[in-house]
Structure 1
Amino acid sequence: MSTHLRERPAEMHNYAIRSLLTHTHGTIADAKIKIDGNDTKTFRLQNAAYFRRVVNDECPGTIREISTADSSKNVMIQLADMVVGAIHRSYKPDKNDCRLYRALLAKRLNDRRSSVWEFK
């Protein structure tokens, strides 16, 4: 990962969302995307028009709609937060169960056409 992105968390989050949506190998089309409204404020995420324009320019038809949602009222955002938390924990060697999380993730990735992006 570039030093530029490491030093600018807001830009890193925008880059990650954009990359996630443009490297789907055609598995995401006509998507309705919800972004946690708190993340939009906290991380100064780009507005919906930016993601729709940039992603649909690179991968036409990927995004139909983007909106914000309250994570305390949206179970899908809560689920995404739990998955991200599990992935984050799997990278913490001080946690006794980190290998368990990595093993579960590896098994799931082997079951599907997926990829892991390592940012260092």
Structure 2
Amino acid sequence: MLNLVNEQIGGLSENVKQKFFPCIFVTFTFLLFSNLQGMIPYSFTVTSHFLITLGLSFSIFIGITIVGFQRNGLHFLSFLLPAGVPLPLAPFLVLLELISYFFRTLSLGTRLFANMRPYFHVAFVA
């Protein structure tokens, strides 16, 4: 598991990567065991509730944003403007990237909820 985390987090030293390992490992094990719980007959998974998945994605989003600002300051916002963008296009691209950054949280929470919800697609077909 530690090797997987080291592969996914690039550009940081091994010492810094190991600081993020407990958070990633706890999130992974929570999702693993809560999703496996749904495989037990007459049971359900807690990730089939929209507020659980939304709360999990928002808390991770807020945590990553706080850690990003603590480690990088305002330079954390540099991901909103890729290198080589023409200056007249910059305001639109920054706005688009900012909207994308915020909606990623909603998207990830909704995807986990929809995948874990039994017979979710039947409600929309019928």
Higher relative contact order (CA 8 A, sep 6+): 2
TM, length-normalised to structure 2: 0.30
* TM-score, structure 1 as length reference: 0.31
Structure 1 or 2: larger helix share?
2
Structure ranking higher in strand proportion: 1
